[in-house]
Amino acid sequence: MAIAAGKMGVIVVDVQGDFTTWKEGSLAVNGTDKAFVEKVQKATETLSGEGYLIFGTQDWHPADHISFYTNHPGKKAFEVIKIGERTQVLWPPHCRQGTENARVLVDNNLFMAIVKKGKDPRYDSYSGFQDDGGAKTEMDQILKRNGIQKLVIYGIATDYCVKATAIDAADAGYKVTVIEGLCKGVAPETSAKALKEMEAKGIMILKELDLQEIGR
Task: Please report, as ranges, the residues that interact with Zn ion according to CB under 5 A.
Answer: 59, 118
What DSSP line would sit under 8-73, residue for residue?
EEEEEE--BGGGBTTTT-TTPBTT-SHHHHHHHHHHHHHHHHTTPEEEEEEE-B-TT-TTBGGGST
Q: Which helix H or strand E contains 113, and what residues bound it? A: strand 113-117
Q: Comparing C-alpha atoms, which of 147, 197, 136 is closest to residue 178?
A: 197
Active site residue 196: no
Q: Measured from the CB of residue 107, what is the shortest distance to Zn ion in angstroms?
A: 22
Query: Closest CB to Zn ion belongs to which residue?
Result: 59
Active site residue 95: no
Strand partners, 204: 177
Catalytic residue among 23, 116, 117, 163, which?
A: 117
Whichever of 135 and 211 has its CB closer to Zn ion, that residue is 135
Q: Measured from the CB of residue 91, what is the shortest distance to Zn ion in angstroms?
A: 6
Active site residue 207: no
State the Cα–Cα distance between residues 181 and 199, nearest whole angstrom. Answer: 16
Whichever of 52 and 185 has its CB closer to Zn ion, that residue is 185
Whichever of 132 and 214 has its CB closer to Zn ion, that residue is 132
Catalytic residue among 14, 59, 124, 132, which?
A: 14
Q: Measured from the CB of residue 157, what is the shortest distance to Zn ion in angstroms?
A: 10
Catalytic residue among 23, 131, 150, 161, which?
A: 161
What DSSP line would sit under 128-147, residue for residue?
SSB-TT--B-SHHHHHHHTT
Whichever of 148 and 166 has its CB closer to Zn ion, that residue is 166
Residues with catalytic annotation? 14, 117, 161
